[in-house]
Each structure stands twice: as C-alpha cells, then as structure tokens.
C-alpha cells in the first residue's frame, strides 16, 4: 500500500507517524479491523506485555499520553487556496485544496473559517480512544466504503491511499463489534512499513491540479455522464469527485 501524507492538515500527527515508522514500530504490526463498507484498520507493534489495540474506543482501556497530540480535526483556512465544488454538499461547503478532497465552513467569518480533509474512499485517519487528544499515530485506518462524512472534524485525517488498497479491502470482515477481529488468528500481519525517503528509487507521484480547467472538466463529466444516462444527475457527491493521481513513469534507458 502506498500512502500520501498531508502535513498541511495534521502536522503533529504526521510527524508522530513518521517517528513511529522510522523506529520500526509498524513492523510486525497487525490489521485488527475490517468493517464492511467502512474501514480497514491497522496498528503498530504493541509495547512489550501489551496486546494490539483491537477493541472499539468506548470499551478499551483509555490511554493517558504524557505529551498528547492536538486534536487536528480541522485547520484555519488562512493561506489555503480552496477551489469549491460546483455542487451542493450535505455536510459543508465541499471543494479541493491542492489536490485534496476537502470541506470548509459554509459560514466562514472574516478569518476565513476552517477547512478539513473529507472522509472519502482511501482517506487515512488516526484511530483514538474516547478523549479527543488520545490519537498517537500508532492506530491508522483507511476508508473502504461509501464516504463516512459524519466522521469529518471528529478524527484527524492524515492522508490517503494512492495504490494497493484493493487487497486490503478484500480481507475477511471482522465478526466482533465495529468489524474488529476476535483473536490473533484472524489478524493479518503487517510485515514492514517504510517512508518513501528510506527506499532508494521509490517512484514519484503526480496529482491533477484541482484548480485547473482540466479538473473542472473531470468534475463536470462525473456529474453529467453522456452517452449512457437517460436523466443527467446534474450533481455529484464530493467523494465521487476523486482527484486523478498517477505514478510518474520511469525513464526508459
């Protein structure tokens, strides 16, 4: 799985995740939850003597962190170029920020209000306990179903999956509450996690400019499919307006 991180939206969480990866904490971790039409969730290797985090947040032991991360569920819109979607959104004003599917306050004040990453297919978020400041980056999930937008501004979103989500989305569903696996025998081992900067020759990726006329054409085509539809929808949910991405072709020598 290839994941793009979004430090411009959750800098403290992204820094914590990078620290965990560099320390090898995700090596020998576990996929602990697969909930149908919802999420796949994986966790870092637990501390010695501890079991993997594999229970819903309201029943597990609540963690107390000496240096809690801020609840980076939204950020100031200042300094961000927001390209609004031409279609109405059920939750907020939907749009795009530098290639990301995002939303913002529809009644923004003089300061520009706030903006946040939307929970769409492939979005990566940070699991936490009940208190808002208990997500430490050691528990991550990605959306594998219809965008659960009700989670927006309740969880720190830190990025998105660029490639490799399909085999994870096809894993057996967990049978316990919220799709958690019942025991160790059902969990899938996470072999190794590395930062792209740690892998020589790791490919680069490109994202379509969401402020460009080309992307505006993509948005219009998603809302008004020609040649097949009998009745044009004339609308599109933000999560259906996926931003085109691609791996940069390697030079042929």
- What mean pLDDT is predicted for residues 80-101? 94
d(CA 208, CA 64): 41
d(CA 253, CA 239): 39
pTM for the model: 0.93
User: What is the DSSP secondary structure assignment for residue 173, as one 8-state letter?
Assistant: P
pLDDT number for residue 61: 83
Could you tell me the sign of the dihedral formed by the alpha carbons of 13, 15, 18, 24, in that order?
negative
- Give me the residue spans of the domains in the chain: 2-56+68-191
* Per-residue pLDDT reduced to its tens digit, 100-145: 999 998 665 556 689 999 999 999 999 999 998 889 999 999 999 9
Residue 173's pLDDT band (boundaries 50, 70, 90)?
very high
User: What is the DSSP secondary structure assignment for residue 90, as one 8-state letter?
Assistant: S
pLDDT at 177 > cutoff 90: yes
pLDDT at 235 > cutoff 70: yes
* Per-residue pLDDT reduced to its tens digit, 14-71: 999 999 999 999 999 999 999 999 999 999 998 787 777 788 898 888 877 777 899 9
Considering the chain, what is the average pLDDT of its residues? Answer: 92
What CATH number should be reported for the domain whose range is 2-56+68-191? 2.40.100.10
């Amino acid at each position: 799985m290839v994941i793009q991180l979004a430090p411009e939206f959750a800098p403290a969480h992204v820094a914590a995740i990078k620290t965990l990866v560099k320390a090898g904490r995700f090596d020998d971790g576990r996929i602990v939850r697969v909930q149908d039409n919802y999420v796949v969730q994986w966790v870092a290797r637990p501390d010695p003597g501890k079991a993997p985090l594999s229970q819903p947040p309201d029943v597990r032991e609540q963690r107390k962190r000496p240096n809690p991360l801020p609840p980076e569920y939204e950020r100031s819109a200042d300094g961000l170029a927001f390209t609004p979607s031409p279609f109405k959104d059920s939750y907020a004003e939907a749009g795009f920020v530098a290639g990301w599917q995002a939303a913002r306050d529809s009644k923004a004040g003089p300061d520009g209000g706030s903006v946040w990453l939307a929970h769409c297919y492939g979005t990566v978020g940070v699991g936490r306990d009940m208190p808002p400041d208990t997500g430490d980056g050691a528990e991550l999930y990605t959306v594998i179903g219809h965008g659960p937008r009700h989670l927006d501004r309740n969880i720190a979103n830190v990025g998105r999956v660029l490639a490799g989500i399909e085999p994870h989305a096809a894993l057996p569903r967990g049978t316990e509450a919220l799709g958690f696996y019942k025991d160790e025998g059902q969990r899938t081992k996470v072999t190794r996690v590395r930062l792209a900067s740690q892998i020589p020759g790791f490919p680069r990726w490109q994202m379509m400019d969401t402020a460009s006329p080309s992307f505006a054409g993509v948005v219009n085509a998603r809302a008004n499919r020609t040649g097949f539809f009998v009745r044009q929808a004339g609308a599109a949910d933000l999560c259906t307006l996926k931003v085109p991405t691609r791996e940069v072709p390697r030079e042929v020598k």
